[in-house]
Amino acid sequence: MVIIMLGAPGTGKGTIAKILSENLNIPQVSTGDIFRKHIKEGTELGKIAESYISKGQLVADDVTIGLVNSRLDEKDVQNGIILDGFPRTVKQAEALDEMLAKRNKKVDMVINLTTPEEEIIERIVNRRICSNPDCKTVYNIILNPPKKEGICDVCGHELIQRKDDNVETVKKRLQNYFMQTSPLVEYYEKQGTLKTEEVSKSINRLGGDVAKDILENLKR
């Protein structure tokens, strides 16, 4: 099964993908996480990615598509994949359809997350992430703080704040989302795979609630 997480930054794509991944036993593949790993390790790809990410821009399509294309050949994703943060442009979506068709696969479900913009900004600047790459649990220092400041409840590793999680970069990332990524809503609507879910504290519905409903629907 191929599941895509769609939505602006800070809508809960990663949180929901993680829960689905653990319950469905399908790997979560986040292009953002892969780029951050390369940046940390100082690889060539990392250097290229950093030049875009630090400015709040999307990494070039050919770079991102190439990365996903090789990831799709790995053994662990043959029974399914949860794509978190890819595709983000129409060009990437078209490339993904082709890459999957070549492997006799298709996009099965697109989960489109929506959240009011003020809430997104508040959520991102207060976001802290577990630094353990096998954990990556996401906290919010106001809404969902860890029991001990700066430490992950689940695994005890240190929590970190992403460099691009500041107000200025978030505003750019939101602009990019509306210009480059939001056309994908129509793209997948036409394919009949889109499922839109609102994630907002104003309706008392956060990532965990949405994930639970999706899992229940899949069981039926």
Catalytic amino acids?
13, 88, 127, 162, 173
Residue 15 interacting partner from Zn ion, ligand ADP, none (CB closer than 5 to 8 Å by kind) = none
Site membership for Zn ion, residue 132 (CB under 5 A): yes
95 contact partners, CB below 8 Å, separation of at least 6:
61, 65, 69, 87
Among positive and negative, which fits the CA dihedral 203, 167, 158, 136? positive
Q: 3 with 28: CB under 8 angstroms?
A: no
What are the φ and ψ backbone dihedral angles of 56, each rounded to 5 degrees? 75, 15
- Pick from 77, 96, 130, 199: which binds Zn ion (CB under 5 A)? 130
Stretch that binds Zn ion, among 31-39, 52-60, 134-142, 172-180 (CB under 5 A): 134-142
Measured between alpha carbons, how far is residue 71 from residues 16, 30, 34, 64, 66 in Å? 21, 11, 10, 11, 9
Q: Does the bond joining 87 to the residue before it have cis omega, within 30 degrees of 0?
A: yes
Site membership for Zn ion, residue 129 (CB under 5 A): no
In the complex with ligand ADP, which residue's Cβ is closer, 46 or 87? 87
Stretch that binds Zn ion, among 58-66, 87-95, 113-121, 150-158 (CB under 5 A): 150-158
Site membership for Zn ion, residue 160 (CB under 5 A): no
Q: 61 with 92: CB under 8 angstroms?
A: yes
In the complex with Zn ion, which residue's Cβ is closer, 158 or 189? 158
Helix, strand or coil for residue 7?
strand
Q: How far is the CB of 38 from ligand ADP (least distance, A)?
A: 11
Which residues contact ligand ADP by CB under 6 A? 9-10, 13, 30-32, 35, 52-53, 57-59, 64, 85-88, 92, 173
Kindly list the residues in this chain that would bind Zn ion in the complex (CB under 5 A). 130, 132, 135, 137, 152, 154-155, 157
